[in-house]
């Protein structure tokens, strides 16, 4: 699959009064045309910062480091002029954010907010035409009574409805890439399911590539073609969707899988949370960032950062235990299977 | 909605009554009276004057008499300017204060809002620091000090602007600056902090992600939200400026409402004190009421029940 987006060695830091917070420390990933890529990780793993860097939406305190590259459709976005970025935002790449309650302007009717997206990028369409297009979009994302809803303000909408408005807005210009940053996290499970279905249908209809950011592997399973697991500002594992559930090849991924509740699971078996908390990114560990929480960690894990090991077709993982010379003892979960 | 506003109107009348009662009590608690003066007045004359204006009657009766007068729209006769009615002071003084106030409000809005926006956009840069330093000086230095400095510099040293009166447009410059100095500084600071807060909101990020230019993001999505707190203080500020700053009018010898008020207090001109207080209070309440209505128009989330 030809990639539409290529991120190479992305490093982002935030300058704070406590020093430099290294939020993203060399992330490389690519998204194919029409592909849905999931990025999974807990808070502070750098997944949102990675996605915000693409459209230059990071706070002023953020610094993208020398040597980072984000190529969209062959065009380098890092260092691109503001004017060019404005053309890309909303037209070629659009975003849906986590909190639909606060992502819409509370004082402007939702219809107008969506129409603005069209009018900004197409100088030749009239306000009436924009309104007509918005009503069609509303119908497409299943907002009931679009005509009536057009004039309503965000506070008159439920969370799920607002997220539908956000989706309608994001898709207004049929972008080539949609970045969805935890779009279902703030919603009820039932609404979450409807929104996911919506995204899947729209991906089919428009052929839009999607980057779907979440901390929920269950959601990834339902939607994505491929998944990237991030931790401590680094990519830990990258794999096609089936692979990640059948052959998780990083202790962190295994930890994440163990903490997903299962409907058929015996109630006596308790969920296993991953002990400990993510590393302090003002002073990131020299070795594998997961080592302090990893049940299989060796001496070397805390001292050096492992490189990627290819474990299957499009499946690679950053762990010393996958190295050919790793000891195949009982405390190595991988050597026994291979 | 109509019920809410009717209720508000009722509450305003109650508040007005309480203000009248309080002012009346405090005024009479202060020693001396309108006819106590340096000149030796025989006791008979003073008693006769007190009797003429019913000041010899019990206070509750005086209050009752005054309130019924006000309900008829009569603020009573002035005790110090024989033959003058307090209504005349309001009718003559208010337009002068109002004209000066109106110009000052325009000046305040045109200066404070752009200042606040510029400071917020240039947050932390030198423009922000300079503007906020000026604004801090503006809120901390009293208006009469600003007025004195302005008169000293522009009237005595440079001799370009008149020290008093409103005969030419030049006469307005110093009073407007002195009168508006505090409000400009206060509002510019408010505008800045409010806009900074709004610019950190998620919907601003959404607006940027749409591909809008920063100017459009600020004007279309930032400003309207950021103006809400500014409008809140705008009501009382307008009332304050339109009815005249007592001190500024005194300094520049402007025959506005404020001047009458200051004189009337030192002279214990009871009816003038009461009249101007009532007028000022009603005007202030009316302005706050207007602001509440204006909220409804700007923010669809606000519904009055």
Average pLDDT across chain A, whole number: 88
**Nearest CB neighbour to A103, from listed B203, B213, B224:** B203
Find chain B residues with C-beta within 8 A of A153's C-beta: 300-301
pLDDT for the residue B238? 84
SS (H, E, C) B166-204: CCCHHHHHHHHHHHHHHHHHHHHHHHHHHHHHHHCCHHH
Least confident of A68-72, B55-59, B100-104, B122-126: B55-59
Nearest CB partner across the interface for B211, out of A86, A103, A106: A86
Mean pLDDT value across residues B241-248: 76
Strand partners, B228: none
Question: Which ipTM did the prediction report?
Answer: 0.86
- Please state, in angstroms and as integers, the Cα–Cα distance from residue B234 to each residue in A9, B245, B284, following that order: 52, 16, 11
* CB contact (8 A) between residue A99 and residue B299: no
User: Pairing mode, if any, of strands A19-32 and A315-318?
Assistant: unpaired
Q: Does residue B99 contact residue B254 with C-beta atoms inside 8 Å?
A: no
Q: A14-57, pLDDT tens digit by residue?
A: 998 888 999 999 999 999 998 999 999 888 889 999 999 999 99
Round the CA-based radius of gyration of chain B to a whole number and report it.
24
pLDDT digits (tens, 9 = 90+) for A267-280: 666 777 788 888 88
Beta bridge pairs of residue A89: A93
Q: Does residue A13 carry a pLDDT above 70?
A: yes
Q: How far apart are CA B231 and CA B228, in angstroms?
A: 5
Q: Which of B255, B265, B232 is nearest to B27 (CA)?
A: B265
Residues of A in contact with B212 (CB under 8 A): 86, 116, 120
Q: What confidence tier does A338 reach under pLDDT thresholds 50, 70, 90?
A: very low
What are the chain A neighbours of B210 within 8 Å (beta carbons)? 89-90, 94, 116-117, 120, 169
Rounded to an integer, what distance in angstroms lies between the CA atom of residue B225 and that of residue A100?
A: 18
Query: pLDDT digits over A143-199, tens only?
Result: 889 999 999 989 899 888 999 899 999 989 999 999 999 888 878 888 888 888 888
């Amino acid at each position: 699959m030809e990639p539409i987006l290529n991120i190479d060695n992305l490093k982002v830091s935030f300058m704070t009064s406590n020093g430099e917070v290294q939020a993203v420390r060399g992330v490389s990933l690519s998204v194919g045309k029409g592909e849905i890529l999931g990025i999974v990780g807990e808070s502070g793993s750098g997944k949102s910062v990675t996605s915000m860097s693409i459209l230059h939406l990071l706070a002023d305190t953020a610094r993208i480091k020398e040597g980072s590259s984000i190529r969209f459709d062959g065009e380098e976005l890092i260092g691109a002029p503001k004017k060019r970025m404005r053309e890309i935002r909303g037209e070629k790449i659009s975003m849906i954010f986590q909190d639909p309650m606060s992502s819409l302007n509370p004082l402007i009717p939702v219809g107008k907010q969506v129409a603005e997206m069209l009018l900004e990028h197409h100088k030749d369409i009239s306000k009436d035409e924009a309104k007509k297009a918005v009503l069609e979009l509303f119908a497409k994302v299943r907002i009931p009574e679009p005509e009536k809803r057009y004039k309503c303000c965000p506070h008159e909408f439920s969370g799920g409805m607002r997220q539908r408005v956000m989706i309608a807005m994001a898709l207004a210009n049929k972008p080539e890439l949609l970045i969805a940053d935890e779009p279902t996290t703030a919603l009820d499970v039932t609404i979450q399911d409807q929104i996911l279905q919506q995204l899947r249908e729209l991906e089919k209809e428009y052929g839009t590539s999607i980057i779907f950011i979440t901390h929920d592997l269950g959601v990834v399973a339902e939607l994505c073609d491929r998944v990237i697991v991030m931790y401590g500002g680094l990519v830990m594992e990258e794999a096609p969707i089936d692979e990640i559930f059948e052959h998780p090849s990083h202790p962190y991924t295994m930890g994440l899988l163990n903490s997903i509740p299962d409907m058929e699971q015996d109630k006596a078996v308790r969920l296993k949370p991953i002990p400990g908390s993510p590393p302090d990114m003002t002073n990131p560990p020299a070795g594998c960032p997961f080592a302090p929480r990893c049940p299989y960690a060796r001496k070397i894990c805390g001292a050096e950062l492992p490189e990627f090991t290819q474990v299957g077709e499009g499946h690679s993982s950053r762990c010393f235990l996958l190295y050919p010379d790793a000891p195949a003892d009982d405390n190595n979960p991988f050597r026994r299977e291979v | 909605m109509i019920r809410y506003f009717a209720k508000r109107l009722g509450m305003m009348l109650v508040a007005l009554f309480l203000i009248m009662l309080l002012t009346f009590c405090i005024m009479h608690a202060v020693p001396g009276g309108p006819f106590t003066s340096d000149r030796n007045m025989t006791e008979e004359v003073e008693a006769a004057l007190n009797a003429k204006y019913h000041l010899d009657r019990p206070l509750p009766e005086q209050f009752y008499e005054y309130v019924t007068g006000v309900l008829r729209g009569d603020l009573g006769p002035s005790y110090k300017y024989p033959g003058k009615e307090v209504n005349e002071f309001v009718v003559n003084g208010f337009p002068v204060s109002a004209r000066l106030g109106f110009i000052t409000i325009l000046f305040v809005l045109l200066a404070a809002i752009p200042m606040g926006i510029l400071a917020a956009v240039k947050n932390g840069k030198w423009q922000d620091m300079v503007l906020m330093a000026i604004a801090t000086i503006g809120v901390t230095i009293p208006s009469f000090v600003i007025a004195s400095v302005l008169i000293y510099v522009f009237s005595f040293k440079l001799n370009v602007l008149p020290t008093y009166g409103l005969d030419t447009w030049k006469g307005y410059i110093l009073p407007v600056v002195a009168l508006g100095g505090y409000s400009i500084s206060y509002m510019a600071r408010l505008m800045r902090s409010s806009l900074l807060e709004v610019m950190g909101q998620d919907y601003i990020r959404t607006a940027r992600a749409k591909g809008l230019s920063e100017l459009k993001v600020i004007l279309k999505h930032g400003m309207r939200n950021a103006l809400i707190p500014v409008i809140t203080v705008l009501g009382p500020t307008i009332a304050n400026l339109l009815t005249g700053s007592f001190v500024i009018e005194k300094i520049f010898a402007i025959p506005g409402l404020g001047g009458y008020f200051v004189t009337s207090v030192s002279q214990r001109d009871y009816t003038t004190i009461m009249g101007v207080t009532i007028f000022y209070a009603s005007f202030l309440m009316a302005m706050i009421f207007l602001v509440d209505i204006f909220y409804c128009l700007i923010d669809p989330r606000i519904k009055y029940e």
